[in-house]
Amino acid sequence: MNQHSQQLEKPPELERGTTERFSSKGFIVAAIGSAVGLGNMWKFPYITGENGGAAFFLVFIICLLLVGLPVLMAELTVGRGGRGSASGSLVRLSGKPFWGRFGFITIVGAFAILSFYSVVAGWTIHYAVLSFSGQLFHDADYAARFGEFIGGWLPVLWQAIVMLLTGFVVAKGIASGIERFNKILIPAMVVLLVVLMIRGVTLEGATEGVAFFLRPDFSSLTPQAFLIALGHAFFSLSLGMGTMLTYGAYVDRRQSLGAATFAIGLGDLLYALLAGLIIFPTTFAFGIAPDQGPGLLFVALPAAFDAMPLGSLFAGLFFVIVAIAAVTSAVSLLEVPVTYLIERKRWSRVKAATIVTISCLAVGFPSAVSVGGTLPGLEWQGKTFFDWVDFITSNIVLPVGGLIVTLFVGYAWKRAADEAGLTGWWLRIWLAALRYVAPILIVLIFLHSSGLLKL
């Protein structure tokens, strides 16, 4: 065994014992916090609106069962079995260093995603502040307002605030930092979601939006819609970027991974359901199309809140929810490279978190200033620097990362069943999904999201 794999065998903090472990409930809450990011509040409503509402939602649930949950279970199993980073765990379980190189792809991907994800997270905090202060509604031209904001320098400041908060939480450790942070914010987010859902469905004219979201119309489904649902079922669980694998490294041996997988998937699904029951009744009540893309969040919804009684309060609560979802996901993304550096470089957690936070701010600066054209020259072939990082990570790195773990557990790691704790029919179904179903569907996700497959 070469020097690289020897260095990976005994990561100091991961083998120290109970000081770096999630509690049973703490892990599930933290994993749900990782999964329920911007995608379910920002992307899910508009792709549902574009693809037929409730029928698309049902297809999304099916895809979640076919590819999302089996791959999630695989990532958690590798993490707990390897007790290391996305790279180190694969080396330790296989005994072959080349698997570590594949795992390193997900670590780079998580870092790159965080570099631009933190930019959008900063936008949500900015809009929460504007909402509570009432400044958001001073000008009814919300598109121009949003364009002016992202075209200035404020996004850099808000990105820095997000990264400093994220770095602080990760530096505090698993139990004292990540778990405690999520145990406070995720229940608070659920309460706010329920409050806003009640407000949304009780608006005059909201029933049309509820029907659009919950009444299936399969005639509106297309093969393209199926591929979009498949991709979102994969991405909405934070798969392929090493976050669930890394969190799995801190899971207690006594915890049931099958029950945890189900709980995380259910939490992700309920969040998507509540998001839909907030956004669709609200947009339909005020005559706003639900298929306006990302602009739905920062342009269309502010207009709806402006027309609503106590609009500043409800807008502020809404953007607080989105900000919580964004920051809890950012924490899980930062933990991926931090765990790797603790393991590989033998750095302390504080040192690793500090260096990765500063590095991510530097790498993310072009994303913050390119998306609105603050600095010219950061555009190529019609895409900004922000767009390119988003495209490469979301459409290439994540499917490849998910495929690596799927093939590793399905074919290369012979003791996966023992670590997963599955037996009988559940084990057969899981392994069949990983060997025959998930790889094909992940390849379809890659081909479609990268633009190589068009229907």
Band of the pLDDT at 244, cuts 50, 70, 90? Answer: very high
Q: What pLDDT sits at residue 308?
A: 87
- Beta carbons of 326 and 121 less than 8 angstroms apart: yes
- Beta carbons of 26 and 175 less than 8 angstroms apart: yes
Could you write out the DSSP letters of every residue in 238-299?
A: TTTSSHHHHHHTT--TTS-HHHHHHHHHHHHHHHHHHHHHHHHHHHHHTT--S--TTHIIII
Percent of the chain at pLDDT > 70 equals: 94
Q: What pLDDT sits at residue 294?
A: 66
Q: Is 73 exposed, middle or buried (0-12, 13-18, 19+ CB in 10 A)?
A: buried
- Beta carbons of 321 and 160 less than 8 angstroms apart: no
pLDDT at 367 over 90: yes
Q: What pLDDT sits at residue 170?
A: 97
pLDDT at 7 over 60: no
pLDDT at 13 over 50: no
Q: How confident is the model over 391-409, as a mean pLDDT?
A: 93
Q: How confident is the model over 334-363, as a mean pLDDT?
A: 96
Q: How confident is the model over 1-12, as a mean pLDDT?
A: 43
Q: What pLDDT sits at residue 291?
A: 67
Entry field: residues in the chain: 455
Residue type, 320: V
Q: How confident is the model over 296-308, as a mean pLDDT?
A: 87
Q: How confident is the model over 261-275, as a mean pLDDT?
A: 92
Q: How confident is the model over 167-182, as a mean pLDDT?
A: 96
- Beta carbons of 289 and 115 less than 8 angstroms apart: no
C-beta atoms surrounding 414 within 10 Å: 9
Q: How confident is the model over 46-69, as a mean pLDDT?
A: 88
Percent of the chain at pLDDT > 90 equals: 67
Q: Which of 95-109, 376-390, 413-427, 430-444 has the lowest mean pLDDT?
A: 376-390
Q: Is 191 exposed, middle or buried (0-12, 13-18, 19+ CB in 10 A)?
A: exposed
Q: How confident is the model over 116-128, as a mean pLDDT?
A: 95
Q: What is the dihedral of CA 439, 441, 443, 448, to 10 degrees?
A: -170
Average pLDDT, the chain: 89
Rounded Cα distance between 84 and 71, Å, is 18
pLDDT at 1 over 90: no
Using CA atoms, how far residue 158 sits from 45, 155, 268, 423, in Å, is 25, 5, 26, 48
Interstrand relation of 383-384 and 379-380 (parallel, antiparallel or unpaired): antiparallel
Q: How confident is the model over 37-48, as a mean pLDDT?
A: 79
Tokens of 130: 């504007």
What's the pTM? 0.92
Band of the pLDDT at 446, cuts 50, 70, 90? Answer: very high
